[in-house]
Amino acid sequence: MNKDIFLTNNLSNKKEKFVPINKNKIGMYVCGPTVYDDPHIGNARPLVIFDILFKVLKCKYGKSSVNYVRNITDVDDKIIKSAEEKKILISNLTKKIIKSFNEDCKFLNCETPSAQPRATDHIDLMIKMISKLITKGFAYESNSHVYFQVNKFKDYGKLSNKKLEDLIAGSRVEVSENKRNPEDFVLWKPSTKNEPFWNSPWGKGRPGWHLECSAMSRFFLGKHFDIHGGGIDLLFPHHENEIAQSRCANDTEVFANYWVHNAFITMSNEKMAKSQGNILKIKDFKDKINGQTLRLALMSAHYKQPLDWNDKLLNDCKNTIEKWYTVYLPLKTSSKIPDDILLPLYDDLNTPGFIANLHKLFDRAINGNDNDKKIFLSACNFIGILSETKQEWLDFKKKKSLISEKDILKKIELRNKARKSKDYKEADKIRDELFNKGVLIEDKDGKTSWKIK
């Protein structure tokens, strides 16, 4: 396909034509998980969005031309705190969560990145970068801590498009008597007795969170690369700090050319967050919903827009895939996908536009020949949908119903009695119980019907 790729670049706040530094060696770095707890649906959105961008870039420039790096943060205050709360070793916690994360990626049918480096494997690079920043006068040591001095970097705040004083006022800045200025951020901190540590010129300690991405992106992609991605919550301070320390350490005017961020997932239009008590973990869906359904739901809204998460969204996506499987046939090789079908993905990863094109292709396929079906299936496969055989899809449907028909009818009878006595709380409880066991019930014309989700 000869069409250009366009991406919204948060560095300019504009949609821009993507022009690679070297079309045969495209570099993309995406911030991965901090492995202190099992990944949730909010974490899943960037996994799917940047997986699609990876596919689009390979489609345009060739499979061997894209180097996609996604890090794993396996040393962090959150990890230390979580291990203490769970009363397990930090190494056991990180091993468990990394395993869970990789299983979730497989469940969502995401490709494995070109590299998935762990922070703890690159501490020496971070120490070297800190030393360089101190030598250049951009960082200072204070009481076994090392801080980046923000006012020494003239372009600080350019990504966030705010002045330094606004960023400070609008964020939770760590207060410390060790800092020269409140806005300065930590590059190295001392470790207490039971915390993980590495030897450094400033004593036993560990790196600050922002530093690892600067060190690892340089190692895998160089001082200047094409695309840096992540969730919108990382734009400030994480990505802003990455730019500051990387440009100062690397003597470059540019760190990454394009900064791409996906918006939040919400529930009832509120951000999904632990403080809201509305966190949904990916693993909790595995016995209830096929991974393809989850993947389609995650791309149902444009990545720049918030995605409101609800049961209707999931049910609609499940019904769509169910319908699409009616034209399934095994593919030995993929058919060429027409350029006009792919076009929305080239235009700033417009996944809703591409899904609309899939519906058009399906209408042709259901009334057409095998070639029409192959084109439709190839287009679905391109975004990681209909990747299982029809039998695998049907087998999952049978497996996820965790209750017998006899028990379903018994529960419906109890619910009807609760509704008749106006005990709606109990009726809702029974409905939710059935839903969690893979059964969807519907009240219509005074009667209750049910079906396996």
Among the listed ranges 6-20, 166-180, 258-272, which one has the minimum average pLDDT value?
166-180
pLDDT of residue 198: 97
For 36, the 3-state DSSP assignment is coil
Query: What average pLDDT does range 339-353 have in this prediction?
Result: 97
| Cis? peptide before 33, omega within 30° of 0 | no
396 φ, ψ (degrees, to nearest 5):
-65, -40
At 340, is the pLDDT very low, low, confident or very high (cuts 50, 70, 90)?
very high
Mean pLDDT over the full length of the chain: 93
Share of the chain above pLDDT 70, in %: 96
pLDDT at residue 214, as a whole number = 98
- pLDDT for position 434: 85
Dig out the tokens for 41 from the structure.
């649906």
Residue with tokens 């760590």: 174
* Rg of the chain on CA atoms, in Å: 25
Lowest mean pLDDT among 62-71, 111-120, 156-165, 373-382: 156-165
Q: How far is CA 37 from the centre of its chain?
A: 15
d(CA 143, CA 202): 9
Q: Sign (positive/negative) of CA torsion 378, 379, 383, 385?
A: negative
- pLDDT-based confidence at 163, cuts 50/70/90? confident
CB 78, CB 123: distance < 8 Å: no
Residue 173 pLDDT > 80? no
Give the three-class secondary structure for 270. strand
pLDDT, residue 168, reads 63
Of 176, 177, 249, 175, nearest to 210 by C-alpha is: 249
Contacts of 56 (CB under 8 A, 6+ apart): 5, 345, 346, 349
Q: What is the DSSP letter of 193?
A: T
Closest by CA to 151, choosing from 142, 161, 140, 143, is 140
Categorise residue 203: left if φ over 0, alpha if ψ from -120 to 50, beta otherwise.
left
What distance in Å separates the CA atoms of residue 319 and residue 449, rounded to the nearest whole number? 17
Q: What is the pLDDT of residues 377-416, one digit of tens each?
A: 999 999 999 999 999 998 887 666 557 778 888 999 999 9
Classified as helix, coil or strand, 286 is: coil
What is the percent of the chain where pLDDT is above 90? 78
User: CA–CA separation, 432 vs 415, rounded Å?
Assistant: 11
In whole angstroms, give the CA distance from residue 397 to residue 413: 24
The string of DSSP codes covering 216-236 is HHHHHH-SSEEEEEEEGGGII
pLDDT confidence tier of residue 1, bands split at 50, 70 and 90: low
User: Residue 452 — φ and ψ, nearest 5°?
Assistant: -75, 130
**pLDDT tens column, 209-248:** 899 999 999 999 999 999 999 999 999 999 999 999 999 9
At 88, list the tokens: 């397990």
d(CA 396, CA 388): 10
Q: Which two tokens stand for residue 141?
A: 């040591």
3-state secondary structure of 307: strand
Residue 400: the pLDDT is: 61
pLDDT at residue 362 tops 60: yes
Whole-number pLDDT of residue 453: 63
- Split at pLDDT 50, 70, 90, the class of 358 is very high
What amino acid occupies position 111? E
pLDDT at position 452 over 90: no
Cα(221)–Cα(216) distance, rounded to whole angstroms?
8
pLDDT in tens, 91-128: 999 999 999 999 999 999 999 999 999 999 999 999 99
Instruction: Quick: pLDDT tens for 364-379.
Output: 999 999 999 999 999 9
Residues 355, 299: Cα–Cα separation, whole Å: 9
* C-alpha–C-alpha distance, residues 96 and 428, integer Å: 35
How confident is the model over 312-328, as a mean pLDDT? 95
Q: What is the pLDDT of residue 167?
A: 63
Give all strands of the β-sheet with 185-190 in edge-to-edge order. 139-142, 145-148, 185-190, 205-207
